[in-house]
Structure 1
């Protein structure tokens, strides 16, 4: 089970509509894909997008870190020594979290194939064997992201999402704080007009660091007083303003979720100890892959802290890995925001986990279930 070679490939898929938040606008899913070849024939896949404004990692920096640091680190190593290898990977200090995540996912995929387990079963066994899933129930339901746009467009996008079967929406806001209160009133009223016996619509609010402390308190107290109810508010403040998050938590009823404030376990511990948040958003690209994300989930499990499993704007390789993690930790990861692949016009990775509107159908085959020849067809002409 020796790692013999590693390839780097490119995956680019156009979006249905541009993805807009308070900090960026993107028109394509664009992943750098890692393909690990092992001596027994197993081929493991991992991937990472460019998230320069969030993690600081561009495609160029991810590629350089993989080629100069991480690929030389794993070549010639045996996946039979998986635990020491994955620990060695995450001790590296001269590679960013995206590059580590891509390699980490590929190694997990290859090892799960070697042990003949779906990835979620491998993760369960490594997390202490706490069985929270059933092999017959491997479907996960995700929310859908409504990008920042003029209110009329956002309401139209809500209509489309509801028609596609989504029943939980994440509303992006925060690029015009002075107008956001009224915009949220209109958006919420429109969503309420769609409620029926067949449609029970829930909404989450994602500010992407776009407000300050007092703005957040003022807006949320007014909305709560008016009965405008969001399931949660995500990252209203800049990432390092932990005291501000704690102040908001004391002032409002809506649960607060940390995203950019919670990259790693140390930050999660600080947020929890300072009573600054209610929920942690775990993302593989922030954490650096499955192994450190599991450490965060283990801490949250031990301290009864709820989690969301989120993603950046990624394709189905990385998001499928995140979904497997969410299934393995279903007792603590109770919120799912893994709509990245469905934002694309198509999914070129066939034969593995399937993304169909709100539903993610996880593979029960070993690893991520990706057939090498299918991916070769995707990338062969690039």
Structure 2
């Protein structure tokens, strides 16, 4: 072994958002990141991130639970192992703990970041190479106010920052939500794509009504209209309407992808590195969808810069990415914990060219925004 894992620190970081971010299941006033720093015996430090939405409102892992899992189970299992053999390290973690995909994603990212730095190549190169260096990135209009959302979209179009906009709906009645979306689509016309994310808020009957109205309004894509367990309902909706239906919460990895393809449950897959348990899991999920002719979309858990660029390196390697990405997480927070924030221009997120993830932690900012001051880590005795 050329280098072993010496210590791992998982840090809770609370970053304020630029505005309240409304989803069907929560309203975010801040975003909590779990930032991982992995030190190897050769002195190389890899960084990773695990992020979820609204505590436990989105899924089964919370930031606090992710940190506890890493500190108590995963980090002790990794300390002393070969830091250069990512597959062997993750296989060991899969024996130590079932599930816990978000926590494992953060550690896999840190291992890959360190290996990229060791070899002086970008992380995408480790995954086979980037076929694109700029990733189309949408913006979510989630203030809930129609006029404000239109003004925001117009400004971002003028700045050439985004030309696809997603609307978070599901908190109000179906017809009120559709009226909100339709007004924004009328204002933007053909200058921008407009999609919606229902975040599982509708039952099948509501979804049938809502999607018919959204289709008439010219909406381009409908994301996860019904609860994730209701795959048969999702399949019926996908067969009934022309507007593409995207699977998000119901897709947690390659095994789910196979079931969704077999059931003809959706037209588009939302890929997320956290839900797939890491970067390689995302590639496996994408391969299933791509082989089945499923359109692919690079999703987000509203990660900060570390998680966003980890996802960007993965999505940059995919042969097909028909629906671009929604990697706008770093733009949603007022401040950051990296020395240089990701670059967004000409409607795209641009892939860094430096080794590993291509970014570095700003230690002063990290110290300022971390939730605790204990600075505890799991270290080799």
Q: CA deviation at 1:341?
A: 0.6
Question: 362, 374, 378: which is aligned to 1:375?
Answer: 362
Aligned residue for 2:127, secondary structure, equals helix
- Structure 2 unaligned spans of 5+: 371-381
- Structure 1 unaligned spans of 5+: 125-130
How many equivalent residue pairs?
A: 363
Does structure 1 residue 212 correspond to structure 2 residue 203? yes
Q: Give me the whole-angstrom Cα distance separating, in 1, the residues matched to 2:237 and 2:99.
A: 34
Deviations 1:229-270 (A, max 9, x none): 222110000111111111111111001100001012211111
Deviations 1:185-213 (A, max 9, x none): 22221222xx5xxxx31111111112222
Deviations 1:150-192 (A, max 9, x none): 3233323323332332111111111122422322222221222
Q: CA deviation at 1:375?
A: 2.8
Q: Give me the whole-angstrom Cα distance separating, in 2, the residues matched to 1:47 and 1:17.
A: 22
Q: Which structure 2 residues correspond to residues 1-382 of structure 1 after superposition, within 5 A?
A: 1-51=3-53, 52-94=56-98, 96-124=100-128, 133=131, 138-147=133-142, 149-165=144-160, 166-176=162-172, 177-192=174-189, 200-224=191-215, 226=216, 228-332=217-321, 334-351=323-340, 353-355=342-344, 358-371=347-360, 374-381=361-368, 382=370
Asked if 1 retains the 8 angstrom alpha-carbon contact of 2:167 and 2:195, the reply is yes
Q: Which runs of 4+ in 1 moved over 4 A?
A: none
Distance 1:179 1:223, change over 3 A: same
Q: Give me the whole-angstrom Cα distance separating, in 2, the residues matched to 1:142 and 1:264.
A: 22
Asked if 2 retains the 8 angstrom alpha-carbon contact of 1:342 and 1:357, the reply is no
Deviations 1:113-149 (A, max 9, x none): 223321111112xxxxxx561xxx5222200001151
Aligned residue for 2:312, secondary structure, equals helix
Deviations 1:93-115 (A, max 9, x none): 35622211211211121122223
Asked if 1 retains the 8 angstrom alpha-carbon contact of 2:344 and 2:350, the reply is yes
Q: Give me the whole-angstrom Cα distance separating, in 1, the residues matched to 2:346 and 2:91.
A: 36
Aligned residue for 1:79, secondary structure, equals coil
Asked if 1 retains the 8 angstrom alpha-carbon contact of 2:302 and 2:327, the reply is no
